[in-house]
Structures are given as structure tokens and as C-alpha cells.
């Protein structure tokens, strides 16, 4: 029990941050976080302790996609669904960005991140925002290491292209 509690404390930030960026709505991210850890508890006995963090992130990702699919179906059947935001960044709360320019860049970066397809978005999110190592991302997403690197480079490039109008004048992407 202590080991489980400790793991919850260690991994809750990674799980909740990832779910928040993918789902956009904090309440959805809370539900997914809880579901992911409950799945972990259910399979606690079977899992190799060294692989638990990657397993947990993989489960979180699948739960997010399940939820996004569900919301998409609901949106297709409910005309008045404007309140549902998909794949946008959560309300960030207080941020180190103190200048208006910094805040604008942050907002645009979050928007640009949301435009990337999968698994590119997850690669960029895990690497740049969450600080996972390439090897860890490869394990979570079950991708070859070099593929992770390619997705990351392309993802950064697309984000730069997306933010082109914020770039200094006379600049290519």
C-alpha cells in the first residue's frame, strides 16, 4: 500500500499534465487520472515495478483517446456542443511568463501543440513540456527511438511554422 501511495505521489503530475493537455478540460483530466491509477491498482500484482511508469502513461493515453472518441460521438449527435473543447490546453493558472509577449507566445504554443496529430503531439508534449527522455517516450508510445526523434523534430518545425507571424521579420520556418 505504501508503495502504491508513493507511486501515486510520484506520477500524479505526469499523468494529470498529460491528460490535461490532451483533453483540455481539467475535470476530464481528473477523471482520467483517477481511472488510470485505479487500473494500475487492479493490475498492481502483475506489473514489473520498473515498467510501471511507462505502463501508467500508456494507459492514461488510451483513456484520453477513449474519452476524446466518446466526446466526438456526443458532439456529432448533439447540436449544442460548443462548450466542449477538444485537445486544447488547460487553464494554466499562474505562470512564469510575466510579459504580455511571453503570455501570447505561451498561448500560441499551446494552440500550436493542439494542432499536431498523434503521436507527434504526444512526443513533443512528453519531451518538451514534461521532460521525458527519448528512451522513456519510446517505451510509452511503443515506437523505435529514431522514430521518436523524427517526430520530435517535425513537431517542433510544425509548431514554428504555426507561429510564423510571431517570428522576427524576414525569417523562414
Partner 1 sequence: MLCRDVDERIESWLDGELPPEEARRLTAHLEGCAACARAAAWARTVREGLRGLPSHDAPPAVVARIKAAARHRRAGGDVLSGPWRARSRGSLAALLGMAAALAVALGVAFRLAPGALAPPVAVRAERPPG
Give me the residues that bind partner 1 (CB under 8 A), please. 1-5, 8-9, 12-17, 20, 26, 29-30, 33-34, 37-38, 41-42, 44-49, 89-90, 92-93, 95-97, 105-106, 109-110, 113, 124, 128-131, 152-153, 156-157, 159-160, 163, 167-168, 170-173
Nearer to partner 1, 71 or 89 (CB): 89
Nearer to partner 1, 81 or 107 (CB): 107
Nearer to partner 1, 26 or 118 (CB): 26
Nearer to partner 1, 26 or 87 (CB): 26
* Closest approach of partner 1 to the CB of residue 121, in Å: 12
Nearer to partner 1, 38 or 73 (CB): 38
* Closest approach of partner 1 to the CB of residue 65, in Å: 19
* Closest approach of partner 1 to the CB of residue 110, in Å: 6
Extract long-range pairs of 81-90: CB within 8 Å, 24+ residues apart.
Answer: 84/25, 85/24, 85/25, 86/23, 86/24, 87/22, 87/23, 87/24, 87/114, 87/121, 88/24, 88/114, 89/20, 89/21, 89/24, 89/113, 89/114, 90/20, 90/21, 90/24, 90/25, 90/26, 90/29
C-alpha dist (Å) from residue 135 to 117, 127, 138: 21, 10, 5
Q: Are 56 and 9 in contact (CB under 8 A)?
A: no
Amino acid at each position: 500500500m505504501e508503495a502504491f501511495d508513493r507511486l501515486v505521489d510520484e506520477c500524479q503530475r505526469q499523468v494529470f499534465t498529460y491528460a490535461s493537455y490532451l483533453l483540455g478540460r481539467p475535470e476530464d483530466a481528473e477523471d482520467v487520472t483517477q481511472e488510470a491509477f485505479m487500473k494500475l491498482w487492479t493490475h498492481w500484482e502483475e506489473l514489473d515495478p520498473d515498467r510501471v511508469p511507462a505502463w501508467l502513461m500508456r494507459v492514461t493515453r488510451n483513456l484520453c483517446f477513449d474519452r476524446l472518441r466518446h466526446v466526438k460521438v456526443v458532439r456529432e449527435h448533439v447540436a449544442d456542443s460548443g462548450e466542449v473543447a477538444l485537445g486544447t490546453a488547460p487553464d494554466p493558472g499562474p505562470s512564469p511568463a510575466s510579459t504580455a509577449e511571453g503570455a501570447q507566445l505561451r498561448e500560441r504554443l499551446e494552440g500550436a501543440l493542439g494542432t499536431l496529430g498523434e503521436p507527434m503531439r504526444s512526443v513533443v508534449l512528453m519531451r518538451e513540456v514534461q521532460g521525458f527522455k527519448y528512451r522513456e517516450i519510446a517505451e510509452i508510445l511503443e515506437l523505435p527511438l529514431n522514430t521518436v526523434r523524427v517526430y520530435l523534430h517535425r513537431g517542433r518545425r510544425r509548431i514554428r511554422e504555426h507561429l510564423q507571424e510571431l517570428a522576427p521579420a524576414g525569417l523562414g520556418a
